[in-house]
Structure 1
């Protein structure tokens, strides 16, 4: 059989071969140029409850470093590390024999001055009795003087009357002599009584002076007794310092002495004798940066988490204290929260993370967290989609991030659309098919 070739047949064959050879490249080109369909979300403005997440450290509610105020040897050691103590429990006893002797001497002095005070009181009572006695004698002398004065006046009157009668020769001179003797006797008696009154007045003056002296002596004795008692009390306080006691309920967290150690007051020690910490209630110290410090208020809610307990629920608390000023070296402000710790799980010195819910609510531009990407350096960016469905890679500054939504501080504005979650990476100028 003979085959013939015709121009038409050759033409169809050539076209078929060309089409067969070029079809795969054309299909690939069409796929690459076709816009990718993406879902977009718009930047939305909403009220945001700001939070400040900062490191936190656990501190004992109270922690006292126990030092000694008296020198001596450690006589007794009552507690050790980890022991639970109550307020007033004895931690250790320091032997102070010299002070004990001084205390006994001071006690003897108090007894001596008290005896002298009793003696002075008796002397005052005696002098007071002497004053009363001398006053009674003075009163008696004055009474007798008044009686004598009356007798002298009567005798003088009788003498004058008798003198008149004698002058008229109605009586004899012998009668006048008798009356004169009687008058002179009364006058002599009057002089004696006056002397007795003067003497009694002097006795009263002396007795009163003695009473004043007795009062002064008693006052001095009482003052000496008070001084001695205060010296005794001071020594007793110093002796009491030899017994070291717990200032509040807590746990002994440190001990740096042993029985027989010499404690020297005035020689600073590198470490305290004991440390007692109250840990049934704890203080959580949180340094708040300057940017958030102005928005923190007492009573703000705090959520605390600790890496030591990763599987446990976060602890909730409230801010109880605010320092009110920044630390110049760190530019942070210290705030405190209190946490109940009756089970003793949390330990002073532990680290954690505190998330403070700030009291100020603000209107913020927000995007879903899935719509914000981060580069290798940690910088945030979004794929901005314009009205022509053209991509623009935009760097953004982020703020509050609660894991679901992120605050956008700068880079995009409210209402602008960005690409939602998508595995594809885009470049500026790339066309997409956006779905709202």
Structure 2
């Protein structure tokens, strides 16, 4: 490690010596700096994801009885109310089953009445010891059997009536029909899996987005955070929402782990439709009214042209000190790379003079970075430079030297 530091320090010193040598040999160009101002404003840290729009409540309407579709009262995009008729199944067979159950119930009711009277008569005779116990037991058994058969027939009638009611299919919720899977005359069979006839979405003016967040980012996501998203159908419109749920169940696809979050998505204009893909930006951190500069200022490094001017403008007593600081910056910046808040170096322009300045940064959204310490509002920070050739090199001055004022 020590050997590596010695090598790096040697390279930096040699580079500085070369820069000074080049400056002494060439002095025929001017440097034009591009700057940005330190300003106050908001800064946000975001993560991006994709998701799918869906209705908050979607109900699949099926049938619990088999038969032929006789009537369909709604179509795609129809607005329905809870309890509204949406389809009818032919009731011929079901009505016949009701009549058969009623007849069976009447027959069993008559049998029950007869056996009840017989039981009461035999019971009275048995209590008076007129008939043997076997006659009493036989009458009791016949009465109980008739009673059970009557109750069974009554249950069968109730089931037949229920099936007849099931032939009338109504909307279970208020909403809009987004799917119709049957036509008039089609036969539907209700078995173990109830066939889906319609899909009804409840109130498309209030929708939600189910988004997939990478496991590396899910730790930053919390309920209530602001979300903005766009859809391909309206690329120029930005829709807003907020996170209402973070689900704990992991989704693993080809060894990639994601987690689903649910985003509230108001849709008063009804532009959003179920199934649309949403391109999402989640604002995980927001700071307001802070000092900030362009992030590219942190990436600016002076060229040889600038460095030779900078060192030539310094007194001999300061050159060694500056060289030491430059080496320290080089080692510290590599060790502190990636920290949310760290000290780093920027170059500040003040009139015709420029100099490096140590600053402490905060949140960085990729375009702007928060300045915690080291700069003041209105400071000009260098973000780039252009080299302008100048044939009259004798008039060129270093940007690090103080301005000269002519005496009047």
TM (norm. structure 2) is 0.60
Indicate the SS of the match to 1:111: helix
Distance 2:232 2:93 in 1: 54
Q: Which residue of 397, 405, 420 maps to 2:368?
A: 405
Aligned CA distance change for structure 1 residues 118 and 232 (closer, same or farther; 3 Å): same
User: Does 2:262 align with 1:336?
Assistant: yes
Give ranges in structure 2 of 5+ residues lacking alignment: 1-25, 308-321, 341-362, 389-397, 403-408
Mean CA deviation greater in 387-396 or 213-222:
387-396
2:147 equivalent among 222, 242, 264: 222
Question: Matches of residues 12-91 of structure 1 in structure 2 within 5 Å?
Answer: 30-32=27-29, 50-91=45-86
Equivalent residue for 1:254?
179
Shift of 1:291: 0.7
Structure 2 Cα separation of the partners of residues 103 and 235 of structure 1: 5
Aligned residues: 311
Counterpart CA distance in 2 for 1:251 and 1:210 is 67
CA distance in structure 1 between the aligned counterparts of 2:139 and 2:180, rounded to whole angstroms: 58
Shift in alpha-carbon separation, 1:220–1:398, aligned structure 2, 3 A: same
Give CA-to-partner distance per residue, 1:349-383, whole Å, 9 cap, x none.
22333332338x99xxx97335259xxxxxxx542
Mapping of 1:144-183 within 5 angstroms? none
Distance 1:422 1:294 in 2: 36
Larger radius of gyration between Structure 1 and Structure 2: 1
RMSD (CA atoms):
4.6
Alpha-carbon offset, residue 384 of structure 1: 6.3
Matched residues in 2 for 1:327 and 1:239: separation?
46
C-alpha change, 1:110 and 1:369, in structure 2 (3 Å) is farther
User: Which consecutive unaligned segments of at least 5 residues does structure 1 have?
Assistant: 1-28, 43-47, 135-201, 374-380, 409-413
Partner of 1:276: 200
Counterpart-to-counterpart distance in 2, 1:432 and 1:211: 125
Pairing 1:34-433 to 2, within 5 Å after superposition: 50-131=45-126, 134=128, 202-203=129-130, 206=132, 210-264=135-189, 272-278=196-202, 279-306=204-231, 308-309=233-234, 314-329=239-254, 330-341=256-267, 344-358=270-284, 368-371=293-296, 381-383=299-301, 387=322, 402=365, 404-406=367-369, 420-424=382-386, 433=400
TM superposition shift of 1:247 = 2.8
**Higher helix fraction (1 or 2):** 1
| Alpha-carbon offset, residue 227 of structure 1 | 1.9
Which is strand-richer, 1 or 2?
Answer: 2
What is the rounded CA distance, in whole Å, between the counterparts of 2:35 and 2:99 in structure 1? 94
Offset from partner CA, 1:386-423 (integer Å, 9 cap, x none):
94698999998799754652489xxxxx989x963335
After superposition, the C-alpha distances for 1:169-225 in whole angstroms (9 at most, x for unaligned) are: xxxxxxxxxxxxxxxxxxxxxxxxxxxxxxxxx42x63x654444333222222112
